């Protein structure tokens, strides 16, 4: 898949388990990792946990996961780059941008539930399998994860 952009650059998305949106490409990983380990894995490969901050990106990634059956390969869902680790209820993206009330979200009903729960503190956000709705969860739970890379132009 090679997408020519208005500036003449080409986005090359010939990488396994990835889908492109502009010159951002998203890698779906089904290995079970904690949120912190998933973050380190993405950063170690030059990316970050994905910022699924637009409906178009959400729909693209969701359809890619569904079409490839990746949601069948995970038990609980996928970590992505949203958390409230620093301040409870203040959600921050991987790049440090704060989630505002006007931003795109896909929270499940009664989510985020936040704070201390029976399974621990819920500070990291997952995209649930099958429903693809967002849910805050214990960062130490192991899930698949979605990395985002911005160096897709060649």
Q: Is residue 61 part of a domain?
A: yes
Question: What confidence score (pLDDT) does residue 131 get?
Answer: 80
The verdict on residue 8 lying in a domain is yes
Q: Give the total number of structural domains in the chain.
A: 1
What is the residue range of 85's domain? 2-149
Q: Which pLDDT value is given to residue 101?
A: 86
For residue 72, is it within any domain? yes
How far apart CA 19 and CA 43 sit, in angstroms, is 18
CATH label of the domain that carries residue 79: 3.10.100.10
Residue 60 lies in a domain: yes
In a domain, 103, yes or no: yes
Q: What is the mean pLDDT of the chain?
A: 84
**Residue 148 backbone phi and psi in degrees, to 5:** -125, 135
Percent residues over pLDDT 90 in the chain: 53
In a domain, 66, yes or no: yes
Position 72 pLDDT exceeds 60:
yes
| SS3 of residue 70 by DSSP | helix
For residue 154, being part of any structural domain is answered with no
Confidence (pLDDT) at 21: 74
- Provide the CB-side half-sphere exposure for 17 (13 A, CA): 14
Distance of CA 84 to the CA centre of its chain: 15
pLDDT > 90? residue 29: yes
Helices (H), the chain: 35-44, 55-68
Tens-place pLDDT, residues 98-145 = 999 889 999 988 788 876 665 558 999 999 877 889 999 999 999 999
15 occurs within a structural domain: yes
């Amino acid at each position: 898949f090679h997408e020519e952009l208005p500036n003449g650059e080409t986005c090359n998305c010939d990488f396994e388990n990835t889908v492109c949106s502009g010159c951002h490409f998203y890698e779906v990983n089904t290995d079970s990792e904690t949120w912190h380990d998933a973050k380190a894995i993405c950063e170690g490969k030059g990316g970050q946990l994905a910022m699924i901050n637009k409906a178009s990106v959400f729909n693209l990634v969701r359809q890619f996961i569904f079409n490839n059956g990746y949601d069948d390969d995970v038990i609980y869902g996928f970590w992505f780059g949203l958390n409230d680790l620093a301040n409870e209820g203040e959600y921050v993206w991987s790049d440090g941008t704060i989630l505002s009330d006007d931003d795109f979200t896909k929270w499940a009903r009664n989510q985020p539930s936040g704070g201390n729960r029976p399974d621990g503190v819920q500070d990291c956000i997952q995209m649930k399998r099958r429903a693809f709705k967002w849910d805050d969860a214990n960062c130490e739970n192991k899930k698949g994860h979605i990395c985002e890379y911005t160096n897709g132009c060649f």
